[in-house]
Amino acid sequence: MYKRLKKNSDFQKLFTRGKKIFSPALTVLYLPAKENTLGLCVSKKHGKSVKRNRIKRLLREAFRAVLPRLKGSHAFILIPKQAEEYTLAGFEKSLSSALKREGLVG
């Protein structure tokens, strides 16, 4: 299970001190933490609220799928890149490959 990042101070800490990983569909920021936490950052350039909320749902589900394979606990922020279409499979593939490159997934 994971918790959600909600405080602005937590987001700012990750944006300033976090390590960045880039993949075709996502930018991932992370820092070691006491427990797994997830924050999402979907800007208005991605579309209206209905589309942004769908992207957030897909990102949360992709993270939930990768979560059991994580090594250790970290705080993450997921930032999607602009695209024509957003799919769960695309987010899962990008997230797992990015985390695998950094050695965060077993």
What pLDDT is attached to residue 68? 95
Q: Does 104 fall in a domain? A: no
Q: For the whole model, what pTM was predicted?
A: 0.94
Q: Does 106 fall in a domain? A: no
Q: Does 41 fall in a domain? A: yes
What pLDDT is attached to residue 75? 97
What pLDDT is attached to residue 78? 97
What pLDDT is attached to residue 1? 87
pLDDT of 106 > 90? The answer is: no
What is the total count of domains within the chain?
Answer: 1
Q: Does 65 fall in a domain? A: yes
Tell me the CATH number at 81: 3.30.230.10
Q: Does 59 fall in a domain? A: yes
Q: Does 11 fall in a domain? A: yes
With a CB cutoff of 8 Å and minimum separation 6, the contacts of 5 are 11, 14, 37, 38, 39, 75, 77
The DSSP secondary-structure symbol of 35 reads: S
Averaged over 3-27, what is the pLDDT?
Answer: 96
Nearest to 91 by CA among 101, 76, 81: 81
User: How do 37-40 and 74-80 pair as beta strands?
Assistant: parallel
Q: Does 103 fall in a domain? A: no
Q: Which domain holds residue 24?
A: 3-98
Q: Does 39 fall in a domain? A: yes
